[in-house]
Structure 1
Amino acid sequence: MDPRKQRSQARLYAAALGLAADRPMSELSVTQIAEAAGVHRSTFYEHADSPQSLVEAALTAELDLLRDALMSDRSDAATSLDTVTRGVLEHVLRHADIYRRELSDGGGALHAMLSRHFRGTSEALIERGRVAIDIAVEGTPRSDVTDAAARFLADGTVGLIDGWLRLPHPQVEQFLRLYAALLPDWWPHRPAV
């Protein structure tokens, strides 16, 4: 992407996240975001087709940086996953107003986005051999078990984040203790302390 387009994208992302912190994504308009970013409406459409997709793209871009760091981390899987999970939780807290509103007890717009992202990360770790799902279920192909396990972990993680954000003062360590206690044995993690 050329530098001019990158600058426009950064301004649009910042404007979209700033506005979405104050109101539901469904109430955002292209005009509001373009004006807040200091760009023309046509520039908006070079980066997204709707305000919701722009907010999701801005959040996903931050999560992608965390995933990239995880994939290049040469620590053992449990250490790498602890580091990236902390990063994800800090990301969620930075955008807590958006996530609280848009996760909306499993039916919100961001539930599916987070689930897809977490599932994609799990699948990448499995493909690279950093996570092994050694579960056999009679009559179920191994690939279906692996897919189900990745989906189960992704949706469960999003549900836990949703509940955690509804606490009066969510703390990262509090989440990590509960998460470690709930994670299945096949997922690399540090035991709950």
Structure 2
Amino acid sequence: MESKPKEDLRVRRTHKHLYNALLELMETQPFENITVKQICDLAMVHRTTFYTHFNDKYDLLSNTLRQIAEEELDFSTTLHSPAESLKEIFSAASKNKNVFTQLLSEDRDSLRNLLRREMGAGIYKHLTEDLLNENLLTEEKSTDIQIIVEAYTGAMIGVLSWWIENNMPIDQEDIYKRLFELDIFPEWNFMKTSTQ
């Protein structure tokens, strides 16, 4: 019975070494290029030990991300505050910049990226047209508008993905109507008026 806590501590220490080794390697190279041997060498953990705890590097990555979430994204305490949750996400991304960059990057030619880019360009043009005509588009205002554009396109594509992945549980007209009835963002009204 007394050996179990010591063993648990040893397991946790091994996991921590492997997590840290993976994150350190991801600072300098793409995840796809990283090998289990590199991870084990850096963590000073035997390959046999690695495979005792993880199936492969993808399993390790999944557990590493879970660890980051548990340590830095404690949503249980911010469940009723989306603002606090958002703050924690940006804080975690700032601390783990290269990891987030790799995991959030999209293939330039993917449909998701194409939709986001084209939709975003259209919304940005719509929101800045009057400001451009009156020479009122400052760099700060342009940045604010770009943040709004990214929020819109992210939300739209997220809903589209959910709808498709769940076998389109509601009619396309219904989801379209419900989406635009939500006041998720401060300037959501521009979408309602411009699409009616």
Q: TM-score, normalised by structure 2?
A: 0.50
Whether contact under 8 Å (2:25, 2:39) holds in the other structure is: yes
| Aligned-pair Cα RMSD in Å | 3.8
Contact 2:72 2:92 in 1 (8 A): no
What per-residue deviation string (whole Å, max 9, x for no partner) do you get for residues 56-84 of structure 1?
321222113455x322447xx2xx22112
- Partners of 2:180 and 2:72 in 1: CA distance: 24
Higher RCO (CA 8 Å, separation ≥ 6 residues): 1
Provide the C-alpha distance between the structure 2 equivalents of 1:3 and 1:187, rounded to a whole number of angstroms: 48
Question: Does residue 1:11 correspond to 2:17, yes or no?
Answer: yes
Runs of 4+ that moved beyond 6 A: 184-190
Equivalent in 62, 70, 73 of residue 64 of structure 1 = 70
Instruction: Give the direction of change, closer, same or farther, for the CA distance of 1:187–1:8 in structure 2 (3 Å limit).
Output: farther
Q: Structure 1 residue 106: deviation in Å? A: 5.8
CA displacement, residues 124-170 of structure 1 (integer Å, 9 cap, x when unaligned)? xxxxxxxxxxxxxxxxxxxxxxxxxxxxxxx9xxx89xx9xxxxxxx
Identity within the alignment, % = 22
What is the letter of the counterpart of residue 148 of structure 2? Answer: L
Give unmatched runs, 5+ long, in structure 1: 108-154, 164-172
TM-score (norm 1): 0.51
Aligned to 1:87: 88
Contact 1:26/1:52 (<8 A) preserved: no
Q: 1 CA distance for matches of 2:49 and 2:144?
A: 42
Q: 2:148 aligns with which of 145, 169, 178?
A: 178
Where do residues 37-116 of structure 1 align in structure 2 (5 Å cutoff)?
A: 37-67=43-73, 69-73=74-78, 77=80, 80-105=81-106
**Mind listing any 5+ residue stretches in structure 2 that lack a counterpart?**
1-6, 121-142, 156-178, 188-196
Q: 1:18 to 1:90 in 2, by over 3 A?
A: same
Query: Which letter maps to 2:15?
Result: Q
Tell me the amino acid that sits aligned with residue 45 of structure 1: Y
Aligned-partner SS, 2:105: helix
